[in-house]
Structure 1
């Protein structure tokens, strides 16, 4: 099952401090090498990072130390580690955590392209975030403004996107980049979960599809839908006698959101409103489905029992509730198809 909402989006260029949480950063691999070595200096690490030269490795270690992933070890007079007079390093607890978790946080500052979606009846969400180079920045001074108030909801909140996880720290200025565009915000359902997606945003929630369908039907039919028995109670209508129906919902509502029209994948059970309606409905179905001639009352009873089974709430009361002769009497009270009466009367003619 799939729900879709056409959702407006706007892309901004934003000057911000932010944290990038990455599983793809090469720094993770370097820290894992450091973990394997244990205690090391620039020259020793450089042996593992060729073709990087010593200056590049030294700059790399300085960066990792400034991020608290490494710490330098105090020199002690007779320690063999410092026999070559180079500073030695080892991982901090934060560095060890990076190796264990396979992800790293990097503090950054710059201009990013930030696409925000505005789902109907829901809070805005960040659906795309791309760091921009100076060449990619479109200097539109006339569109510059202070950070939008709505952006405050995103500060220090992890934004899980296809290209990584980000935390916005502080937004200084925003620049309008594009006009509003509509994108498809989709919810794809499996039996035990759904995944909502829009551009680079994706979120998976564990919930059974049956509960979601129940909410859709409750929102459309209110108290007429019985969640426990999974059926809709409807008034008798002689133009539509089916007890299992394809259900279309014009504006399906789920979790506070409205979506485009859908048709449910499976047929939904229909049930009469009360005993009187059930009797009329049952009789109408019995008459409408007669195709064969009945050569005994037993044949007729088996035929009606099968139809009674379709009435989930009323099958016990409807089973054997009408005999062949009673149905003939009812049909004699009002005009009925000649061939239907003939099929019901067959055994009487034969006996005569």
Structure 2
């Protein structure tokens, strides 16, 4: 005959059953990107499309003004059709303007979302916008008094996390990366070409095993140096282009890309595209030189002179001659760190063992 559990052990047993369920249900912590500079900048997030869709749908969802901007950060040709298919579970990089507010970074009042039937704030944050933010951020940004009370047709600001701060003394483009289950700190760091310690410090991670799948990390992607600084004329100043991405500027007349092959110096050249807001693209020759934008001449074994992009105004594409050091190579770093998993699995495994021991002893 089976033994009867004493009341104290019975309730302990029920408690042990419920705790793994509670632990598994815990979601990732809300993203909080520090942003101490009182400025605006361009930032990126990695949106994981839940279903097969088109690039134009994603452009509309995040309200990216120029399709070519979205194409460039995803290394798609500028002639890509708006109907280009994005498969489900694919990651699409989303460019957006970032603003520092009270020490944190938020997207500068874009995108906005119009509530439809059966919407809820949790659903909007996690299903519609891929878990890039916590629903409480929508509540705070829109000053919603009751999170359970929104109405059809209501327009909500979706405050995406971002930052404009330099990291380790270098200009970077901050990227919101959604952690995948089973990934690791060195894997994420290596993917984006950064140091593991930098990644952990920036996100206040003391133990890499504390990461939860779905958590949004602030990943600082190195930006190429350019001749378009904050003091340069034109609406694209300062021009920061993240490593591994392309941007179109000067009314689509100039294409600039960033990669390590040029020692992280921004490489710009005529785009060959039709001008926007101009009758045609203007001349892009460096003054006092036979070089045009993007062309170079060798000065020595380690130096060359390049006709570099320097911004634009109402009528002209600005250029200047820049000397580039071709011998200095980009640094490397070690990214040793343990692998991470979801917390709930390790906790659930321990408690399950305790349950089995109790069952074997008292039943």
TM over 0.5: no
- For the pair shown, the structure with the greater C-alpha radius of gyration is 1
Task: Compare the two structures and name the one with the higher helix fraction.
Answer: 1
Relative to the length of structure 2, the TM-score reads 0.23
Task: Compare the two structures and name the one with the higher strand fraction.
Answer: 1
